[in-house]
């Protein structure tokens, strides 16, 4: 019964989404608040209906209803409850339903947003409804998760054991909330192009309306990508955290476009400038999201985590992508020349710095796009097969970002309209000096000597110190009385703190990434009980191996002692497992992680080697220095996004706080 209920709710959601589009558009054309209001009501109804459908699917998973083919294919009675629930979005059909849920819930939130002018809101609700209709139609007609199986199997095929992990259970909801959140920016951009306001007063207000959605989506996407990366780090057991895998790239492109959008929307909000460019980025961010969905689900990519799907669905997704992005960009090409330029600014100014930021972020996104699609295009065009992997991105993406990072700390110190470059450089002199010292120390002190890694350390320090220097400058640190400094710090808007945190988090991430990449050490050896293997400053001894039984797996669990090779420091015991899941016949590794300050000592139990009389196990040991910062940095960045989101000025309908003048 519950599956039929879900299927009905999904069909209802499709009908409501179509109604939403029609009513909101009619309301806009006839200038009828009643019709537009009905469109908004339909948007809320669609969100509710998809939520019911999603609830029904989760219910089917929780109760292990194997008469539903999606449950039979992805669940198992032995699975822990968390993974039964997470199984609901572990397949193509389920995750598409999650996509639709986020799309319609954001659409409902858009329908409830206050303070937007009538025409813009009605158009945006109609555009969001059109997106919802297309994706819901795709779900209903080709990818319904509620198809029944007859006869129902007694047992399910279980979820891929690699996906049975807490980080991965919440990774897709976060990731999708980010991906699909950009749909509201897309709809607002389409609406702005339709409304085509030529008044200069319109664009700052539009910038203010689009920013909260962009911020929320970007922060959620940051969390989602980081969780996925962390999962890859400790679940795959390869010791790495980013592989420039096409699917990773697919999530990274909207992130880069979203980051560019955040920055350019600030210029549009404050100065009314770059309006056309901001609209373009708003369209681009969600287009990249849809492109990612197509790449992951169509099977055109070979990737570790592409969904196995048939090309027909890929073709449908390509059609949706072509229709929506094609229509939106055509509208853009038609209307963009009519957009007013807005405030003028000198090349050296806050606006100028943000233009450079956008230039490099967009070029970086284009690089990722090129690296991801080029093998496909080249093979289609000439039949030649190539691989684009980490060395390519190290040679193209990394230098582009490095240039952007050199410029970054100066941006917030420049005034709007016309900045004082010399003044900004003077204020950053201390930060620059300390960063250079950090780089030189890293080069001199760490063995083996690595110039690139040392320069990277300097870069990370530059970003962190630069962000702090900007706060110090605003607070008049060392120049005003401490009471005055405190008063100024308290008076800083949350948005300013958000920016500082985000930039600081980026620096923290860079530090972790370059130190981990530059100085990590690894070793692999077949160990009998009592034997040791060393990597970097750590020695790991295999103490004991036993067989343990999990809820739905059998595991060989190794207990290992991690101690410093020079014996100065405490020893810790870690357990690492090699799990066998009988339901799917798959084997996974459960990494043993010993957190040592900022470093990880990372131990992987491999296959059994040696003779039955003298069993041995291949143990892989990684020393990943400063790996903690790789995941801490993005968390700080997401927190920065959240803080900015809480800023009064971004709340629609709330006026700027009146300041008491000093």
Partner 1 sequence: MRRLAVLVVAPVLALMLTAAEPPAAPDRPLADTAQEARAQALFKNVRCVVCQHEAIADSPAGVAGDMRRLIREEIASGATDQQVRDDLVRRFGDYVLFTPPMRAGTWLLWFGPFALVVLAVGVLIARSRRRAIEPPPLSPEEEHRLDELLRNEKLRRDPDATSPHDGR
**Looking at 360, 497, 553, 602, which residue binds partner 1 (CB under 8 A)?**
360
Closest CB to partner 1 among residues 255, 360: 360
| CB of 113 vs partner 1, minimal distance in Å | 21
**Looking at 5, 59, 329, 392, which residue binds partner 1 (CB under 8 A)?**
392
Query: Looking at 1-9, 223-231, 449-457, 603-611, which segment touches partner 1 (CB under 8 A)?
Result: 603-611
Question: Considering the rule CB under 8 A, would residue 351 count as an interface residue with partner 1?
Answer: no
Question: Considering the rule CB under 8 A, would residue 51 count as an interface residue with partner 1?
Answer: no
User: Is the separation of the CB atoms in 418 and 346 below 8 Å?
Assistant: yes
User: Is the separation of the CB atoms in 128 and 184 below 8 Å?
Assistant: yes
Quick count: other Cβ atoms within 10 Å of Cβ 519? Answer: 19
Question: Considering the rule CB under 8 A, would residue 659 count as an interface residue with partner 1?
Answer: yes
Question: Considering the rule CB under 8 A, would residue 196 count as an interface residue with partner 1?
Answer: no
Question: Considering the rule CB under 8 A, would residue 336 count as an interface residue with partner 1?
Answer: no
Question: Considering the rule CB under 8 A, would residue 410 count as an interface residue with partner 1?
Answer: no
List of residues 6+ apart from 45 with CB closer than 8 A: 16
Closest CB to partner 1 among residues 308, 547: 308
Closest CA to 160 of 89, 229, 97: 89
- Which structure tokens are listed for 438? 């950090």
Site for partner 1 in 263-282 (CB under 8 A): 270
Question: Considering the rule CB under 8 A, would residue 481 count as an interface residue with partner 1?
Answer: no
Site for partner 1 in 71-130 (CB under 8 A): none
- Cis ω for the linkage preceding 151 (within 30 of 0): yes
Residues in the chain, total: 662
Distances (CA, A) of 209 to 133, 200, 354, 375, 451: 24, 15, 19, 39, 45
Q: Coil, strand, or helix at residue 524?
A: strand
What percentage of the chain's residues is helix, strand, coil (to nearest 5)? Answer: 65, 10, 25
DSSP at 584: T
Question: Considering the rule CB under 8 A, would residue 610 count as an interface residue with partner 1?
Answer: yes
Tell me the C-alpha distance between 469 and 429, whole Å.
9
429-436 long-range contacts, CB within 8 A, separation 24+: 430/465, 430/469, 431/462, 431/465, 431/466, 431/468, 431/469, 432/462, 434/461, 434/465, 435/459, 435/461, 435/462, 435/465, 435/466
User: Is the separation of the CB atoms in 360 and 404 below 8 Å?
Assistant: yes
Closest CB to partner 1 among residues 93, 470: 470
Tell me the C-alpha distance between 494 and 510, whole Å.
24
Closest CB to partner 1 among residues 127, 388: 388
Query: Looking at 4-12, 64-72, 173-181, 380-388, which segment touches partner 1 (CB under 8 A)?
Result: 380-388
Closest CB to partner 1 among residues 330, 480: 480
**Looking at 211, 503, 525, 563, which residue binds partner 1 (CB under 8 A)?**
525
Tell me the C-alpha distance between 55 and 615, whole Å.
49
Question: Considering the rule CB under 8 A, would residue 661 count as an interface residue with partner 1?
Answer: yes
Query: Looking at 14-22, 29-37, 45-53, 382-390, which segment touches partner 1 (CB under 8 A)?
Result: 382-390
List of residues 6+ apart from 177 with CB closer than 8 A: 102, 217, 220, 221, 224
Q: How many residues bind partner 1 (CB under 8 A)?
A: 70
Question: Considering the rule CB under 8 A, would residue 384 count as an interface residue with partner 1?
Answer: yes
Distance of CA 537 to the CA centre of its chain: 34
| CB of 554 vs partner 1, minimal distance in Å | 18
Query: Looking at 311-319, 328-336, 396-404, 635-643, which segment touches partner 1 (CB under 8 A)?
Result: 396-404
**Looking at 65, 195, 245, 577, which residue binds partner 1 (CB under 8 A)?**
245
**Looking at 34, 82, 198, 304, which residue binds partner 1 (CB under 8 A)?**
304
Q: Coil, strand, or helix at residue 76?
A: coil
Residue numbers at the binding site for partner 1 (CB under 8 A): 236, 238, 240, 243, 245-246, 270, 302-304, 306, 344, 347, 350, 355, 359-360, 362-364, 366-367, 370-371, 374-375, 378, 382, 384-392, 395-397, 400, 412-413, 415-416, 470, 473-474, 488, 493, 495-496, 522, 524-526, 528, 607, 609-611, 614, 616, 618, 649, 656, 658-659, 661-662
């Amino acid at each position: 019964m519950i599956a039929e209920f879900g299927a009905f709710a999904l069909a209802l959601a499709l009908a409501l989404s179509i109604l939403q589009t029609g009513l909101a558009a009619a309301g806009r054309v006839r200038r009828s608040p009643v019709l537009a209001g009905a469109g908004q009501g339909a948007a809320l109804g669609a969100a509710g209906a998809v939520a019911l459908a999603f609830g029904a699917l989760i219910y089917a998973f929780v109760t292990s209803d194997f008469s539903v083919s999606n449950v039979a294919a992805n669940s198992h009675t032995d699975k822990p409850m968390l993974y039964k629930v997470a199984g609901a979005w572990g397949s193509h059909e389920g995750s598409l339903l999650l996509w639709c849920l986020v799309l319609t819930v954001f659409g409902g939130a858009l329908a409830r947003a206050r303070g937007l002018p009538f025409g813009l809101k009605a158009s945006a609700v109609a555009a969001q409804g059109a997106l919802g209709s297309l994706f819901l139609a795709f779900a209903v007609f080709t990818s319904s998760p509620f198809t029944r199986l007859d006869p129902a199997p007694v047992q399910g095929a279980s979820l891929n054991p690699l996906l049975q992990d807490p980080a991965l259970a919440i990774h897709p909801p976060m990731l999708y909330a980010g991906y699909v959140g950009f749909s509201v920016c897309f709809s607002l951009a389409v609406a702005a192009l339709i409304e085509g306001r030529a008044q200069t007063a319109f664009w700052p207000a539009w910038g203010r309306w689009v920013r909260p959605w962009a911020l929320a989506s970007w922060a959620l996407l940051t969390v989602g990508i980081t969780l996925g990366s962390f999962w890859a780090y400790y679940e795959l057991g390869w010791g790495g955290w980013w592989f420039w895998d096409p699917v990773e790239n697919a999530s990274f492109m909207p992130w880069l476009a979203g980051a560019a959008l955040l920055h350019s929307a600030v210029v549009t909000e404050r100065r009314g400038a770059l309006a056309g460019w901001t609209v373009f980025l708003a369209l681009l961010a969600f287009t990249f999201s849809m492109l990612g969905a197509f790449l992951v689900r169509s099977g055109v990519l070979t990737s570790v985590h592409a969904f196995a799907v048939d090309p027909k669905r890929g073709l449908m997704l390509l059609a949706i992508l072509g229709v929506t992005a094609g229509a939106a960009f055509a509208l853009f090409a038609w209307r963009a020349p009519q957009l007013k330029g807005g405030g003028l600014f000198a090349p050296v100014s806050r606006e100028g710095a943000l233009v450079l930021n956008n230039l490099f972020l967009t070029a970086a996104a284009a690089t990722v796009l090129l690296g991801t699609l080029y093998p496909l295009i080249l093979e289609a065009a000439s039949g030649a097969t190539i691989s684009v992997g980490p060395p390519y991105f190290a040679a193209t993406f990394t230098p582009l970002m490095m240039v952007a990072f050199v410029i970054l700390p100066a941006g917030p110190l420049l005034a709007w309209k016309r900045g004082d470059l010399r003044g900004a450089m003077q204020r950053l002199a201390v930060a620059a000096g300390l960063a250079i010292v950090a780089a030189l120390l890293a080069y001199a002190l760490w063995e083996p000597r690595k110039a690139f890694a040392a320069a990277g350390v300097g870069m990370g320090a530059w970003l962190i110190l630069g962000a702090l220097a900007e706060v110090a400058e605003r607070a008049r640190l060392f120049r005003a009385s401490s009471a005055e400094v405190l008063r100024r710090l308290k008076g800083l808007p949350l948005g300013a703190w958000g920016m500082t945190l985000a930039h600081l988090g980026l620096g923290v991430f860079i530090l972790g990434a370059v130190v981990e990449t530059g100085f990590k050490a690894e070793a692999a050896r077949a160990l009998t009980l009592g034997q040791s293997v060393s990597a970097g400053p750590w020695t790991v001894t295999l103490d004991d191996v036993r067989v343990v039984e999990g809820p739905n797996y059998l595991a060989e669990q190794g207990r290992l002692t991690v101690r410093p090779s020079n014996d100065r420091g405490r020893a810790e015991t870690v357990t690492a497992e090699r799990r066998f899941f009988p339901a799917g016949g798959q084997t996974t590794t459960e990494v043993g992680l010993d957190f040592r300050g900022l470093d990880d000592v990372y131990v992987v139990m491999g296959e059994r080697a040696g003779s039955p009389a003298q069993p041995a196990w291949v143990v892989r040991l990684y020393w990943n220095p400063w790996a903690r910062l790789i995941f801490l940095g993005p968390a700080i960045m997401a927190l920065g996004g959240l803080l900015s989101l809480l800023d009064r000025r971004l709340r629609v309908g709330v006026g700027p706080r009146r300041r008491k003048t000093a």
